Structure 1
């Protein structure tokens, strides 16, 4: 076979002989073409010929203002409250002839009450208002993923349908049109790799807009791992290519089994270096509101990995006020609400949904000597913010990290040294320890009974 291949004329030689035979070129001109091509390659000159006679400058962006932007300076994400309420009314408006279904009507009615201050703000309303406020300020938004118009857990309802005609309507698109910008939202095909790759490319050429991809469950993102490894986390290091892509990855241990529990936080944290990505775990509606606004308003174009909730979407404890949204900001670390810091003997550090399980049990058992502090931004790690809050507690004997994930997963392995570094700054005598599920090959167990047993044991162990 090797001999047959060696004797077979190359494609170049066959093509050259055919052109000479038909009289298009001579043997001398063919050799001249090859020599010139070789010299161009060796001289570092371009050999790819442009088929376009005129460049389309509309497709080019000036990235200058997005270069070398630091993550820690404060970003103003506040919004005028009167304007907020106007927009809050508009995102719940549909044409007068529109026949909303029962579920959508209930959601829109509740959002009107939230906007009026009669109900606390939930996650779905806060997220929708982050988009509405950004659109009103001229920022274009693109959101794609499997079932994103409704939301996997029916929290978004960005597009509603007439129950009689089937006609769709997107209130945010009208707000975008009124402010001369765009709101594009697409339910994608069932391919994480293809869609995430496309959205990464979109974000890498569109710095002015907010490009968001949402996984149906965070677990499914492993179907696009090659896009994450080769492009999202490393393109800036390899090619100095920036991207402001946002990835929303629903995550949480709620007894749904090993395929519907974990966005694999540990994999993203393992890939963190040189401030290449942001990894955040917002635990309240105001946090997601300010986080998304910060990503668009701040000129830093670094991919944002959002470990988003599932059950917290409707948890009555996970709510915010209108003032939290209009006057607040994204907090990298959220302190406990303990009024008497001097009485605190133990601090639990955590991220995400487990905070609410810990806090409810702490209150129930009247363990007033324990404070729970949430770390909402895992990377870049907020050393100074955590140190600022820990300094307030002068009589603490024990500090632990608590996570729902198994010991070999979650944030522990990548963040143990970061947490300890803050304790060393404070000259804390004891090393930080960890409470979690036992090490496991799969993210979660498959039986609800066993899940509840593990969760109860975890909470009891953390609070003992």
Structure 2
């Protein structure tokens, strides 16, 4: 076995605790950002034999709308933010590799990284930005989580300078690769001193789709966390998915990155980020504070992570609730203690602190957050579904009742 940190791993160092205290800046100069956005949305940049490709009207409109997000509306949705992350990386010379059972289009049709012309030719716009760019590889894999995740783990080990991503069709299906996650992703650095920068994208969220299409099992990943062995992320903004992907390659070390990605938020009207959130001086935000509530008037603080934030936000703004703050944990591990404690100090009159989650009481991040939050000296209450052996109910109507009850309890009990 060759010595580690030589060859392709030369220049990569071990991580230190202070590396996770604050994320590095990953914003892009505005002129460059706009230029790249115009390149990645210009379907006439086919090149060579594909220069005369004609695309279906729906695809042309989709890419034109993405262009307008940057140059006109200055607000980006999730799909455009993710595409811009890949575009910035390959423009800067970093190869990107993405594979999964439906990764070209995206399970929920938000990505469209592979598009089909009228003559059935496949086209990848991210490979037509410039002659100097690095490759963008995207593959629709066969239906094996175990086999494909194992292969991508090996690829990431052999190519640490490539952003290697494995995406589950639904996060629930990651349990088909649990052996790879347990034996390699979570513990290879501890057991064998072998780093790995593989990214896992796991669609997660309770939306009435039943027990097999709701949960990527956040609790399982958090029980595997110790010694800063990997990063657990549950983003709620397009800007944060942009920055976390760039942060993964900006770090001078490699750690597995697990991202619980959204489903309904891909088209949620409030799930957008301002153009300024992507520009120079910006970075991934581990914790996002409330900008609606009045800090000195706040009597209760709701901590949450992921999609449930938007359910809480709707109630807060509809009822004009100024004395209850909603704080989002975008990074669950390594736990962002400094950022969280700084926010807690902003609410000196708060007498009630709650963790709100969609998942049942015995699942989700609750157990992990409770163990960590006690260090602040504040008592943390739970608002969640009752403990269950199944991640979610099978009836959409019952799901809606449970979700409404969850939000009601968060604000009114």
Partner residue of 2:245?
Answer: 292
Structure 1: distance between partners of 2:202 and 2:23: 25
2:43 touches 2:60 (CA, 8 Å); kept in 1? Answer: no
Partner residue of 2:333?
Answer: 379
Q: Which residue, 148, 157, 179 being the options, matches 2:112?
A: 157
Q: Which residue, 56, 59, 63 being the options, matches 1:108?
A: 63
Q: 1:450 to 1:142 in 2, by over 3 A?
A: same
User: 1:339: Cα distance to partner?
Assistant: 5.7
For this pair of structures, how many residues does the alignment match?
A: 400
Partner residue of 2:364?
Answer: 410
- The runs of 5 or more residues in structure 1 that have no matched partner are 1-45, 47-54
Structure 2: distance between partners of 1:329 and 1:64: 23
Q: 1:216 to 1:256 in 2, by over 3 A?
A: same
Partner residue of 1:75?
Answer: 24
Partner residue of 2:228?
Answer: 275
- The runs of 5 or more residues in structure 2 that have no matched partner are 45-50
2:74 touches 2:275 (CA, 8 Å); kept in 1? Answer: no
User: 1:78: Cα distance to partner?
Assistant: 1.1
2:145 touches 2:168 (CA, 8 Å); kept in 1? Answer: yes
Structure 2: distance between partners of 1:72 and 1:156: 31
Q: Which residue, 392, 405, 414 being the options, matches 2:346?
A: 392
Q: Which has the larger radius of gyration?
A: 1
1:278 touches 1:379 (CA, 8 Å); kept in 2? Answer: yes
User: 1:120: Cα distance to partner?
Assistant: 2.1
Structure 1: distance between partners of 2:164 and 2:93: 14
1:135 touches 1:179 (CA, 8 Å); kept in 2? Answer: no
1:368 aligns with 2:328: no
Q: Deviations over 1:197-229 (max 9, x none)?
A: 000011112111100010000000000000000
Question: Is the deviation greater in 250-259 or in 116-125?
Answer: 116-125
TM-score, structure 2 normalization:
0.94
Q: Deviations over 1:364-412 (max 9, x none)?
A: 1222110000000000000111000110111001000000000010001
3-state SS of paired residue (2:161): coil
Structure 2: distance between partners of 1:73 and 1:413: 24
Structure 2: distance between partners of 1:204 and 1:359: 41
Partner residue of 1:313?
Answer: 266
Partner residue of 2:304?
Answer: 350
3-state SS of paired residue (1:249): strand
Partner residue of 2:165?
Answer: 212
Q: Which residue, 78, 96, 101 being the options, matches 1:123?
A: 78
User: 1:110: Cα distance to partner?
Assistant: 0.8
User: 1:62: Cα distance to partner?
Assistant: 3.4
2:23 touches 2:285 (CA, 8 Å); kept in 1? Answer: no
When the two chains are superposed, the root-mean-square deviation of aligned CA atoms in Å is 1.6
Larger RCO, structures 1/2 (Cα 8 Å, 6+ apart): 2
Q: Deviations over 1:309-332 (max 9, x none)?
A: 000000000101111111421100
3-state SS of paired residue (1:202): helix
User: 1:132: Cα distance to partner?
Assistant: 0.5
TM-score, structure 1 normalization:
0.84
